[in-house]
């Protein structure tokens, strides 16, 4: 093992002579740490998003203990620290408003403390990108460890997936096909173990991105939270991060352009969430990799979906793990030359080496590339006068008969306007209309909430119709589905063309041609543009900082001054 003592950044705290060294060590000793812990062991921060308000990460204190076990075994000194935790189900107005705030907490906590390496404990949707983004801006040796998905929900003898099952049942209640007593029964049956959503929603997608990027150990994506092997993975992560410090293997050596290309193609192959687009664009900008929205279409849209998981398919993450998990998918991509097999991963091996021996145990869950679950299923990027900087759609979750569609716009000025009107029996709407929702982009709501998959009007649902074209500047839950155009950029609140759409305008969507067009004369649009007024800026606080500085969705919706990294250097303390 290399002697890393002289280059450990923690030694500038703990190895300092005189007054400073005394202060740095003595107060730490009140926790019972002996002197030798401060004498050149790699100090590993365990960045913990545990919170009882983030139920998906509720088991993270236990998970951290297993990471510590590994760190101690490898001769390191583990120190766990909390950062802002973002729970998807409780935070208002939307957890996405706080992703960048949490990333600032992570970045400054890592840089300001005597850490040589860090393990990121991530689970619920925004906890993964916020930790990766914050750590990337420091760029010390880092491993991501996801908390793992919940076990499968089960209601009336049928599997019940997080989110996906709920959206369907909610429509059934509104259509009068399900009683409210049954709805409560399903509520009790869906979330039945520790862990995050067990559909291929945003949390599972981002856990898969961690593995595909190579910033987590193999197996990270799918091992259920309560499976003993999740704890084994945590222990191995603890062992490995100490070695990474000895090797000085930084995050930027893993998060290369090749790694991002692997992740984009993997997202298509798993039928992953559209949210990954925004998060990976932001992460790439932090670490300094050139990546743009068009890359998602160019690299991923032709890639087939191999994984038959909700919301695109029928199985759940537990089934995915038992079938062989993400390594099987990566191996299929590698065999089709759709994976940069030489991309380095945190275990020191290439991603190709990691997946070479992967085996599939259930081809109904993970299809072969020759017989994919859905062909050409990646994210499609649409452009046109309604979204000059782009909008996205996830064809694998949509209805092919709507992919080329021209319809009359039914417009909602904001989400309150939507909820006030959608159940109105007098709303002038039918299944051929296009539902348009404005002012739900990064600046608009603010925070870009997951409301893009607008529920359908009851009068349409009662006809047995289950999908309509919907367009907005919002995001969509990774567990949701439908022919839903999202992330329209620039957003309405930034004066984008979406702001100009009015009831009765005709809109043409053509997914194959990648176009999204508002059929209104330019002269009329110019008049509407002149009459448009921006909404007032928030008066104070973080929300003001956010609205004043947030970038558009096609840029990753990061704050403009957070793009890039500052490294691990920090001024000496002043005492």
List the structure tokens of 412: 């909602």
Cβ at position 265, least distance to ligand FES in Å: 23
Pick from 281, 273, 243: nearest CA to 478: 273
Binds ligand FES (CB under 6 A): choice among 56, 84, 206, 242? 56
Cβ at position 491, least distance to ligand FES in Å: 24
Residue 200 is a binding residue for ligand FES (CB under 6 A): no
Residue 203 is a binding residue for ligand FES (CB under 6 A): yes
List the structure tokens of 289: 């990799």
Q: Which of residues 525-564 bind ligand FES (CB under 6 A)?
A: none
* CB count in 10 Å sphere of residue 67: 28
Residue 196 is a binding residue for ligand FES (CB under 6 A): yes
Residue 197 is a binding residue for ligand FES (CB under 6 A): yes
124 versus 474: smaller Cβ distance to ligand FES: 124
203 versus 440: smaller Cβ distance to ligand FES: 203
The helix or strand, by DSSP H or E, that contains position 144, with its residue range, turns out to be: strand 142-146
**Looking at 193-201, 207-215, 274-282, 363-371, which segment touches ligand FES (CB under 6 A)?**
193-201
Residue 124 is a binding residue for ligand FES (CB under 6 A): yes
Binds ligand FES (CB under 6 A): choice among 80, 125, 295, 554? 125
198 versus 498: smaller Cβ distance to ligand FES: 198
The helix or strand, by DSSP H or E, that contains position 66, with its residue range, turns out to be: helix 60-73
Residue 150 is a binding residue for ligand FES (CB under 6 A): no
The CB-based long-range contact list for 349-355 (8 Å cut-off, 24+ gap) reads 351/212, 351/214, 351/262, 354/218, 354/327, 354/330, 355/218, 355/327, 355/328, 355/330, 355/331
Residue 323 is a binding residue for ligand FES (CB under 6 A): no
The helix or strand, by DSSP H or E, that contains position 260, with its residue range, turns out to be: helix 257-270
Query: Residue 531 class from Cβ within 10 Å (0-12 exposed, 13-18 middle, 19+ buried)?
Result: exposed
| Integer Cα distance of 384 and 390 in angstroms | 8
Residue 88 is a binding residue for ligand FES (CB under 6 A): yes
Cβ at position 450, least distance to ligand FES in Å: 10
| Integer Cα distance of 173 and 158 in angstroms | 18
Q: What is the DSSP letter of 27?
A: T
- Whether cis (ω within 30° of 0) applies to the bond prior to 493 is no
List the structure tokens of 364: 């109904």
Cβ at position 194, least distance to ligand FES in Å: 11
Residue 121 is a binding residue for ligand FES (CB under 6 A): no
Residue 319 is a binding residue for ligand FES (CB under 6 A): no
Cβ at position 293, least distance to ligand FES in Å: 24
Residue 198 is a binding residue for ligand FES (CB under 6 A): no
| Integer Cα distance of 150 and 162 in angstroms | 9
89 versus 302: smaller Cβ distance to ligand FES: 89
Indicate the angle between helix axes 127-136 and 202-213, nearest 10 degrees.
30
Residue 279 is a binding residue for ligand FES (CB under 6 A): no
Pick from 62, 53, 132: nearest CA to 85: 53
Binds ligand FES (CB under 6 A): choice among 78, 134, 165, 201? 201
Cβ at position 57, least distance to ligand FES in Å: 8
Could you list the residues that contact ligand FES (CB under 6 A)? Answer: 56, 88-89, 124-125, 162, 196-197, 201, 203
């Amino acid at each position: 093992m290399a002697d890393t003592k002289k280059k450990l950044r923690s030694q500038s705290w703990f190895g300092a002579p005189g007054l400073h060294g005394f202060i740095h060590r003595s107060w730490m000793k009140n926790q019972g740490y002996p002197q030798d812990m401060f004498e050149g062991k790699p100090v590993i921060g365990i960045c913990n998003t545990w919170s009882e308000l983030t139920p998906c990460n509720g088991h993270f204190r236990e998970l951290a203990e297993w990471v510590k076990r590994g760190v101690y075994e490898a001769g390191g000194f583990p120190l766990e620290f909390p950062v802002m935790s973002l729970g998807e189900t409780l935070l208002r107005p939307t957890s996405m408003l706080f992703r960048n705030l949490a990333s600032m907490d992570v970045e400054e906590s890592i840089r300001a403390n005597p850490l040589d390496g860090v393990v990121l404990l991530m689970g619920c949707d925004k906890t993964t990108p916020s930790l990766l983004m914050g750590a990337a801006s420091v760029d010390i040796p880092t491993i991501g460890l996801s908390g793992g998905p919940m076990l499968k929900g089960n209601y009336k003898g049928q599997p019940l997936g997080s989110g996906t099952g709920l959206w369907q049942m909610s429509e059934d209640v509104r259509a009068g096909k399900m009683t409210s007593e049954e709805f409560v029964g399903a509520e009790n049956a869906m979330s039945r173990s520790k862990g995050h959503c067990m559909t291929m929603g945003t949390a599972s997608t981002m856990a898969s991105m961690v593995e595909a990027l190579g910033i987590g150990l193999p197996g990270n994506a799918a091992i259920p939270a309560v499976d003993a092997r999740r704890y084994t993975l945590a222990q191995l992560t603890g062992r490995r991060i100490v070695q990474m410090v000895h090797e000085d293997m930084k995050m930027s050596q893993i998060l290369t352009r090749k790694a991002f290309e692997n992740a984009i193609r993997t997202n298509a192959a798993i039928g992953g969430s559209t949210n990954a687009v925004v998060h990976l664009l932001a992460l790439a900008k932090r670490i300094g990799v050139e990546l743009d929205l068009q890359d998602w279409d160019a690299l991923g849209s032709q890639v087939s979906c191999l994984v038959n998981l909700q919301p695109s398919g029928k199985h759940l993450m537990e089934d995915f793990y038992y079938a062989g998990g993400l390594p099987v998918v990566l191996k299929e991509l590698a065999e089709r030359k759709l994976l940069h097999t030489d991309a380095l991963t945190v275990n020191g091996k290439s991603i190709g080496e990691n997946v070479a021996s992967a085996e599939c145990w259930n081809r109904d869950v993970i299809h072969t590339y020759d017989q994919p679950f859905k062909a050409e299923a990646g994210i499609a990027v649409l452009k046109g006068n309604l979204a000059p900087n782009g909008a996205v759609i996830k064809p694998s979750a949509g209805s092919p008969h709507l992919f080329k569609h021209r319809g009359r716009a039914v417009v909602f000025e904001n989400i309150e306007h939507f909820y006030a009107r959608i159940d109105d029996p007098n709303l002038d709407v039918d299944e051929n209309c296009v539902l348009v929702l404005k002012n739900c982009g990064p600046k608009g709501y603010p925070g870009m909430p997951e409301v893009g998959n607008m529920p359908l009007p009851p009068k349409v649902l009662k006809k047995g119709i289950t999908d309509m074209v919907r367009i907005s500047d919002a995001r969509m839950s990774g567990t949701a589905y439908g022919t839903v155009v999202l992330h329209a950029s620039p957003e309405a609140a930034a004066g984008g063309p979406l702001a100009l759409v009015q009831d009765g305008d005709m809109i043409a969507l053509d997914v194959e041609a990648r176009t999204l067009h508002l059929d209104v004369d330019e002269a009329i649009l110019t008049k509407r543009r002149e009459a448009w007024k921006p909404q007032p800026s928030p008066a104070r606080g973080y929300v003001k900082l956010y609205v004043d500085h947030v970038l558009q969705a096609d840029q990753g919706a990061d704050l403009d001054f957070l793009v890039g990294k500052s490294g691990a250097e920090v001024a000496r303390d002043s005492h």
